[in-house]
Amino acid sequence: MVYAVVRAGGRQEKVEVGSVITLDRVQAAEGESIELPAVLFVDGDNVTTDADALSKVTVTAEVVSDLRGPKIVIQKYKNKTGYKKRQGHRQELTRVKVTGIK
């Protein structure tokens, strides 16, 4: 079984060929191909974590779509002072499909 752990959007994701993952927004159009930096590469019993060997590993992915995450409501309140604040946030996301690990 071949898989890799890639760094994407401040997090690390375990990916295999054909897996679809959601990342922070990537500046690429739908259908474009992007490369993700590998942190760990596993090929059967061989586990690679060496930086020099990982520089030769390329993980390519195709951008499937851009989307937005769920609405998060941020509320702050201080008792007896009349202070209250309400704010919302929706994260910009990109869904990608891994096309190759070489």
CA-to-CA dists, residue 87 to 72, 76, 84, 91, 92, angstroms: 8, 9, 10, 13, 17
Tokens in use for 61?
């992915």
Asked if the model's pLDDT at residue 10 lies above 90, the reply is no
- Report how far residue 62's alpha carbon sits from residue 64's, in angstroms, rounded to the nearest whole number: 6
Residue 14: half-sphere exposure toward Cβ, Cα within 13 Å: 4
* pLDDT single digits (tens) 44-68: 899 999 999 999 999 999 999 999 9
* pLDDT score, position 9: 78
